[in-house]
Amino acid sequence: MAETEKKSSRRKFRGEVFIKRERCKGCGFCVEFCPTHALGMDKEINQKGYHPPVLVDPDACTGCDLCGLYCPDFAIHAVRVKIGSNESKESDDAC
Amino acid sequence: MHADPKGVLTGVHFLDGDHACCEGAIAAGCRAAFGYPITPSTEVVERISQRLPLVGGVFVQMEDEIASSIAIQGAAWGGKKVMTVSSGPGISLMQEHIGLAAMTETPCVFVNVQRGGPSTGLPTLPSQADMMQARWGSHGDYETIAISPNSPQECFDLTIHAFNLAERYRVPVLVMMDESVGHMTERVVIPHPEQIKIESRSVPTGPKEQYQPYAAGEDMVPPMAPVGEGYRFHVTGLTHNDKGYPVMSAEVQEHLVRRLVDKIRLNANKIAMVEEEQTEDADVILVAYGITSRVVLRTLHLAREKGLKVGVFRPVVVWPFPEKRLRELAEKVKAIVVVELNYGQVFLEVERIVCGRTRTELVPHGGGELHDPKDILRVVEELS
Amino acid sequence: MSDQHVNPVEPYLRMDRMPHIWCPGCGIGIVVNCFVRALNQSGIDADTLAVVSGIGCTGRFAGYINLDSFHTTHGRPIPFATGLKIAKPELKVLVFSGEGDLVSIGGNHLIHAARRNSDIKVFCVNNFTYAMTGGQVGPTAPVHSIATTTPYGAYDRPFNLPFLADSTGAVYVARWTTYHVRQLTRSMVEALNKPGFCFVEIITPCPTIYQRRNRLGDGLEAMRYYKRFSKVINGANTRMVGLELKGPIIVGKFIDRDRPTLLEAMNDEFSSKLGAKYKPYPTGVSR
C-alpha cells in the first residue's frame, strides 16, 4: 500500500474507468488483463445474471484502456486523466 | 439519358450474336464485366476483354463462375453497370448469386447463351432448355426478367434493354440467347449514341442520416445510394427491414419479399414485350421465342399458303410472361401451339395461363438442332 | 467512475442493433475494438471504407459496424470485395470473415485474390470451427479436435493459414490472437495503409462450442492459453507456424513485401502493349 502511495505522488496521469454494467457478459478478460490489477469482479450480478467488473483499486488505474480493448461487449473503457486537471483526456489510442 | 459516344461503334456491322451482345452492353454503359470461359458464350467476354479497356472499363476473367457472379455485384455497388456471361453449367453455378442480386436488389445482367443440356450436354449446339431455370433457378421467392433475342441485331438492342430494365427495377436480368443466335453472323446496325436511350438507377435525395436503403415508394423500387459517400448503409442477403438490418420474423419477410415479387409481377404489363404476326384472324397461334420464333415464321408462311389461318405470338420478354395478351388471344382461337427447343417449359406457363380456354399443344425438341418447320406444320394441320 | 464518457467504439457501431449476438467470452468483439482503434490511428476517412463479410459468426461483423457494409453469401466476400474495389478504386475495401467461410468454401477465391494481389484487406477470424451452425469441423481444426461432424476426432491435416496466404502471393501476412490486442491493432493499421492483398489471421476463442467440446475451458482459459503459449516471431518462416490442438502458437508479422496490385499490373501490361491508346485505369494506390 505504501509503495502505491509513493507511486501516486510521482504520477502525472491517472485513469478513469467507465463501466456499462448491463452490457457485461462476465467473460473476465478485463479483470484478468488489467496490468495493475485495478479491476475485480462485482459480488453483485447484473440483470442478465453476470458479475460485471468493478474498480477495486482506483489508484492503480492508469487509464491505459486495455480493458476497453479486451471487452468483447463494449461494456468498459478507460481514459487517461492528467492529475490536477478537471477535464478528461481522450482515450489513449496511441499506445 | 443517352449512350456514351465513347462506347458506341456507330455503323453497319457483320457480327455474330455473341459479339453483338458485347457491343450492346458497352453501348448501354457497361464498364465492368467479370466472366469465365464456357462454350458457346466465350466470344462475348473475349470481345469484352478487348473492348472494355479502350473505353475506360475493366474486365477480369475470374477463377470461376461463382466468383464472376458476385464480383459483378460488388462492382454494381461500386457504381458500375455490370454483366457476366455464361451457359448452362455456369449459369447453374451462378444461381445462388442470382438470388443474392434479387434479394439485395442489385442491378446486373446475366447472359445465358443456352446450349444442349442437362449437365455437360451439347456444348456447341443450341437448346432453349434453361427457360424455367431463368425464373425459378435460385431458392426462395423472387422474380427476374428474362429476354430472348432471336438475331444478332436483337442481341445488340435487347442487351441494352436488359441493362435499362436492371437499373429501372433493381433486379438481375437474364439475356436468354442460345448457341444458334450467338454464333449466327448477320447484319447489325449500331445507331448514333443520341438514338440509344439509357436508364440508370435512381439515387436518394434527402439527408444521408435518414436514408433507408430498402424503403420504397409507390414504384416499389428503393433509390440506391452510392458507396463511399457517407450513407453508411448495410446490405445483407438475410431477410431485412427498410433500414437493411436483418430481422428474423414473418412480418418482415412478408414486407420485403412480397415487395420483391410484386415489383415485377405488378409491373408485368409495363415490362411485357411481344411481337405478333397475323394473329388478328388466326385459328391456330404458334407461341415461340428466341431462335424458334424465326423457325415458326417459316411454318406460318407455309400454312398461309395452304389457306390455314395461322398466327405467331412471340414473347420477346419471356419473364414476366405476357399473360394478359395471351389470355385475350386464347378466347378467340381454336388452339395454341407452343414450339420450343426443350421438352416443355414455357409450355407449362402457357397451359396455366390459357387455363382450358382453348386447346394447347406442345411441339418439343431436345435441342442440338432447330425444329423442321414442316414438323410444326403437320401439328398445325391436325389442329385446323 | 461515471457513465458519461462515450466508449470510443460506439460511433463506429450501429448502436440500434446492440447488444450483438456473440457469446460471452467470444473474441469477435475484441476484433471490433482493435479495428476501430486502428481506424482512428490510421487517420483514414471512415466514409472511404467498405466492409464485406461472409456467413458465420464473424460474418455478422458487417452488420454491426457503422460503415458502408455488405453481408454477402457464404465463402464469397473476397470476389465481391474485388469487384467493389475495381469499380471504385478510391475505396478501401476490407473483408472480415471466419476461417470456414474464407478458406473452405471460399478457398478458391482466397488463393486467386492473393495470386492477383487484389487490393483488399482480409481479416480472417479463426476459431477452428463452424460456430454459427453448431460446431462442425473446419479447415483449420487441429487433428484430434472434436466437432459435430468429427465426433471421434478430426483426422484431416488442417491448413496453416499464414503459409497458405504467403505461398499464394499475399504481400502482407500476419497472425495474432485476441490476446495480442495492441499488436493486432498495429497490424490492422499497417494492412489498411499497405497496397495489395493483406491477410491477417486472428485466433479467437469460441467458448460455447470449440472450447467446451474440446475441454479447453472457457473464453478466459483460451485467452490465458494464448498469453502463455504464444511466441512472437516476426518474420518467421510461414511453413513452420502450423498449429496443434495443445501446442505453441507462433504469432507475428511474417510477410511484408511489395508488388503491383491487380489494377497496377493491368495498367502496366496494357500500357506497354497499347501505348497512348490506353488510358490507365485509376488504381486507388499512391506509392
Separation in Å, CA of C181 to nearest CA in chain A:
7
C chain contacts of residue B54, beta-carbon cutoff 8 Å: 274, 277-278
- Looking at the complex, report in whole angstroms how far the Cα of residue C67 sits from the nearest Cα belonging to chain B: 5
- Residues of chain C in contact with residue B233, where contact means CB-CB under 8 angstroms, are 68-69
Around Cβ C286, how many Cβ atoms within 10 Å? 5
Tens digit of each residue's pLDDT (9 = 90 or more) over B293-319: 999 999 999 999 999 999 999 999 999
Rounded to the nearest angstrom, the minimum Cα separation between B54 and chain C is 6
For residue C67, the chain B residue with the least C-alpha distance is B232
The verdict on a CB contact (< 8 Å) between C67 and B232 is yes
Q: Check if the beta carbon of residue B238 is closer than 8 Å to that of residue B140.
A: no
Q: How many helices (H) and strands (E) does chain B have?
A: 14, 15
Q: Where are the alpha helices (DSSP H) in C121-261?
A: 161-167, 181-193, 212-213, 219-229
Q: Do B74 and C274 touch (CB under 8 A)?
A: no
Distance from CA of A84 to the nearest CA of C (A): 17
Residue B230 is predicted with a pLDDT of 96
- Chain C touched by A20 (CB under 8 Å): yes
Domain ranges of chain C: 11-277
Q: Collect all residues with Cβ–Cβ distance below 8 Å to B382 and sequence separation of at least 6.
A: none
Confidence of residue A83 (pLDDT cuts 50, 70, 90): confident
Chain C residue closest in CA terms to B73: C80
Is residue B262's pLDDT more than 70? Answer: yes
So where are chain A's domains? 2-82
Min Cα distance B59 → chain C (Å) is 9
Distances (CA, A) of B21 to A12, B27, B169, B311: 72, 10, 21, 29
CA distance A42 to chain C (A): 14
Q: What is the mean pLDDT of each run of 10 residues along chain C (287 residues)?
A: 76 96 98 97 96 98 97 98 98 98 98 98 98 98 97 97 98 98 98 98 98 97 98 98 94 98 98 97 94
Chains A, B in contact: 3+ Cβ pairs under 8 A? no
Neighbour subunits, C (≥3 Cβ pairs < 8 A): A, B
Closest residue of B to C270, CA-based?
Answer: B53
Q: Is C164 on the interface with A (CB under 8 A)?
A: no
Residues of chain A with C-beta less than 8 angstroms from the C-beta of C207: 27
All residues of chain C having their beta carbon less than 8 Å from the beta carbon of residue B100 are 72-73
Which residues does chain C have within 8 Å of residue A95's beta carbon, measured at their own beta carbons? Answer: 182
Q: Which residue has the higher pLDDT, A89 or B37?
A: B37
- Is the domain defined by B5-195 classed in CATH 3.40.50.970? yes
Predicted TM-score of the model (pTM): 0.96
Topology (CATH level 3) of domain C11-277: Rossmann fold (3.40.50)
- Rounded to whole angstroms, the Cα distance separating C160 from C238 reads 8
β-partners of residue B284 are: B310, B335
Looking at the structure, give the CATH architecture of the domain made up of residues B275-383.
Answer: 3-Layer(aba) Sandwich (3.40)
pLDDT in tens, A38-68: 999 999 999 999 999 999 999 999 999 999 9
B5-195 and B275-383 have identical folds? yes
- Which architecture characterizes domain A2-82 according to CATH? 2-Layer Sandwich (3.30)
Contacts 24+ apart (CB under 8 A), C191-195: C191/C121, C191/C123, C192/C38, C192/C39, C192/C42, C192/C44, C192/C92, C192/C94, C192/C121, C193/C42, C193/C44, C194/C256, C195/C119, C195/C171, C195/C258, C195/C261, C195/C264, C195/C285, C195/C287
Residue of B nearest to C110 (CA): B63
ipTM value > 0.95: yes
CB B149 within 8 A of CB B18: no
Flag whether residue C117 sits within 8 Å of chain A, measured between CB atoms.
no
Helices (H), B41-130: 42-51, 65-77, 88-93, 95-104
pLDDT at residue B277 greater than cutoff 50: yes
- How do the domains of chain B map onto residue ranges? 5-195, 275-383
Q: Is A19 on the interface with C (CB under 8 A)?
A: yes
Percent above pLDDT 90 for chain B:
100
